[in-house]
Amino acid sequence: MPPVRQRGLGKPKNTKKTIGRIVQYMGKFKALWILVFLCVIINSGASLVGSYLIKPAINNYIIPMVKAAASGQPVTDMMASFGQLLIGVLILFLVGVLASWGNQRLMLYISTNLLFNVRTDLFNRLEKLPIKFYDAHTHGELMSRFTNDTDALREMMSQTIPQLFSSGLTVIGIMVMMVVLSPMLTILVLGTMFLIFQLIKVIGKKSANAFRANQKSVGELNGFIEEMIEGQKVIKVFNHEPKAKAEFAALNENLRVAGTAAMTYGGVMGPVTNNMSHIQYAIIAIVASVFMIIGQMKAGFLNWFTGALDIGTIAAFLQYTRSFSQPIGMMSQQANSVLNALAGAERIFAIIDEEEEVDNGQYSLVNAYEAKDNAGEMKLVQSFSKTGEWAWKDPADNSLKPMKGEVVFDHVTFGYKPEKIVLHDICIHAKPGMKIALVGSTGSGKTTTINLLTRFYDVPEGSGKITYDGIALNDISKAALRKSLGMVQQNTHLFTGTIRENIRYGNLEASDQQVYEAAKLANADHFIRHLDKGYDTVITGDGASLSQGQRQLLAIARAAVANPPVLILDEATSSIDTRTEKHIEKGMDSLMKGRTSFVIAHRLSTVRNADEIIVLEHGHIIERGTHDQLIAAKGRYYFLYTGNRITLDE
């Protein structure tokens, strides 16, 4: 049996490594990042300069105009100059707005394309992972990587990073301007901000763990839901609804607890920093007023240190204080999004970092034909068009070896886990054109044998070997090997598309006529033509509108159109009634004629004409021979075929 499925992919990678990986993706848009930086600098600069202009506006215009108006002096000239200042401020802020708009547009483009690259890499990695990976992990949990985790990453890239960068630059600019206005008040601001940062650090650490647990719980719940939806018929037949509800309730409760913790820490951070900023603002206003009074009485170093405070300076400084608190508050609020995205990114990269399917095979499968060489002898020559003849191409000297279909299992021992062996010393010799049947009770190792032949799993070194036309199976590239094999599985899978496209899946270059012939061979043509749109009928939901038998007929037609040199039938007729099976028996025999065929069957009537029947039990070959030989032996096969157990007395 393959490994038991899990709903998790282990512990996530460390945060520093995850950030480094994200930066690598960001590095592909260097030119656009430069434009983003310029837009942020312009926007932040406009905001900083606009705040600084409060000082001259109050000191040079508002206060003098109030005094002049109180004493009856004309204020027309000052009002004109003040109007020009206001127009300049308006233009400054318009430039900042345009820069902010450009920044948002650029970041939207970067984030969508970055996520395009991430999803592409994620899907490409999934395509390269071995079957054992899918056997060990639920589909729903893997799907959450493409949905919840990438959405969290998208939100961080499109919104959080621009705001963090803008806020960071604003904080630096404000710091510089605050030092220019008053070094003493700046030190006081830094002191209060240090306390705020310490508080953010404590909350942020707890929030990171909470968001990581939340993402993990989401994946587990998705995996469970996916399993339950796929197994609805089984659930209803066995009245499993109460148990399913209880399991869902437990997983849902775990998600609620994790989500509550994440949202609690995330929700606390913003209000805490905002309230701290209000307290900070009040303290700065009081201290600045005291310093201004002291500055009116004394001069010298103290006057420089406090910044020669006046009403305009205090107003500008308080504006910077408020502006300083706002980006800090925004950064703390966006920290939740960052932590959520990093947790999702860790899970995405955990898959991208999974070890892909190893393929050290060098032999390729090519079309070939026979031609005379210079010495007048017949030899194989590679053809770049279809010839109906196949050959293995040796990469060392480009020599060709005819593809005959001879398969040998030479003392093969295998287990999905080293401590639990599934196959014990298996020896099979399938000569070209032979029909080999594998029979036995459930769990005897039949499907595992086929998994080794298709290289879904590889035989460990020192545990025997499998050869194909005399070539070690591991020396043949998996693409070439699987190209030479046609397989019809018990559990068929149909893709969304027309019936014609699903049959042609076995050979994308097949003509419509070849598709029709394959359907006739599989006895599927009759029911297909009775559908509303015939071969153009669209299949959805894995062929939910078709019966299981009809789906299996399409799978047989798919194998027929592939026209493979070696055919594997894994319970290919298990969902077909006996009458239909007899109708397609000749077609199946025609399909297997001249091909090496491996047939797994519980319905033993389908393997009576096999050249060799191999009986497996607990991973051991206990009997082998033709149907008549095994019936005469009255052993395990006789019992499986007739249902009559032979006693020692007989």
Residue 435 burial (10 A CB sphere; 0-12, 13-18, 19+): buried
Would you state the pLDDT for residue 29? 85
Measured CA to CA, the distance from residue 377 to residue 603 in angstroms comes to 48
In the predicted model, residues of the chain with pLDDT beneath 50 are 1, 3-12, 646-650
Contact call for residues 52 and 324 (beta carbons, < 8 A) = no
Would you state the pLDDT for residue 329? 64
What's the predicted TM-score (pTM) here?
0.64
Residue 24 burial (10 A CB sphere; 0-12, 13-18, 19+): exposed
Cβ count within 10 A of residue 243:
11
Would you state the pLDDT for residue 294? 67
Cβ count within 10 A of residue 636:
19
Would you state the pLDDT for residue 411? 93
Would you state the pLDDT for residue 12? 43
Would you state the pLDDT for residue 612? 93
Measured CA to CA, the distance from residue 268 to residue 335 in angstroms comes to 12
> What is the Cα gyration radius of the chain?
37
Contact call for residues 528 and 499 (beta carbons, < 8 A) = yes
Cβ count within 10 A of residue 513:
8
Measured CA to CA, the distance from residue 614 to residue 255 in angstroms comes to 50
Cα 580 to the center of its chain, rounded Å:
41
Measured CA to CA, the distance from residue 437 to residue 422 in angstroms comes to 19
Classified as helix, coil or strand, 430 is strand
Measured CA to CA, the distance from residue 557 to residue 540 in angstroms comes to 18
